[in-house]
């Protein structure tokens, strides 16, 4: 029995060591994919707001340079906040098989708050307020 246990431990250690040597390249690739996806969503949402809310359009520049200001990963939910040209946009989603991104875009200088979702690359507006 001791021999089987030793072989099992050796296999587990080999898998852990082998897996850890591959992790950095996979993590880097996932990070780049996430960044590109986030930028696409940010730009799509801003284009949607610009096209559907003429009163917000003057505050949305053609090219916005986005900076990630925070990221939260909790059990079952992930969210990141981005800022650019006076806008603050939060993208979050529950960790489920069917991913629905919850988006909140704010331009506090003008009291603009847009809330919506993105599912299968389709933007759905839930609310829009301009005070």
Q: Distance (Å, rounded) from C-alpha 79 to C-alpha 58?
A: 28
67: region left, alpha or beta (phi > 0 left; psi from -120 to 50 alpha): beta
What's the pLDDT tens digit per position in 47-72? 999 999 999 999 999 999 999 999 99
End-to-end CA distance of the chain: 73
| pTM recorded for the entire structure | 0.74
Domain boundaries, the chain: 2-130
Computed on alpha carbons and rounded to an integer, the radius of gyration of the chain in Å comes to: 21
State the pLDDT confidence band at 30, using cuts at 50, 70 and 90. Answer: low
Q: Collect contacts of 52-55 with beta carbons under 8 A, ≥24 apart.
A: 52/125, 52/128, 53/112, 53/114, 53/128, 53/130, 55/130
Query: Over the stretch 94-104, which tens digit does the pLDDT of each residue have?
Result: 999 999 999 99
């Amino acid at each position: 029995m001791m021999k089987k246990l030793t072989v099992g431990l050796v296999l587990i250690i080999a898998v852990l060591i082998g897996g850890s040597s591959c992790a950095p390249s996979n993590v880097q690739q996932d990070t780049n994919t996430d960044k590109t996806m986030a930028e696409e969503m940010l730009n799509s949402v801003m284009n949607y707001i610009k096209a559907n809310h003429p009163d917000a359009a003057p505050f949305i520049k053609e090219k916005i340079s986005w900076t990630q200001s925070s990221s939260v990963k909790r059990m079952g939910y992930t969210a990141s906040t981005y800022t650019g040209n006076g806008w603050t946009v939060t993208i979050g989603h529950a960790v489920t098989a069917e991913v629905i991104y919850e988006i909140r875009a704010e331009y506090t200088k003008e009291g603009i708050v847009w809330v919506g979702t993105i599912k299968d690359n389709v933007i759905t507006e839930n609310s829009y307020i301009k005070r």
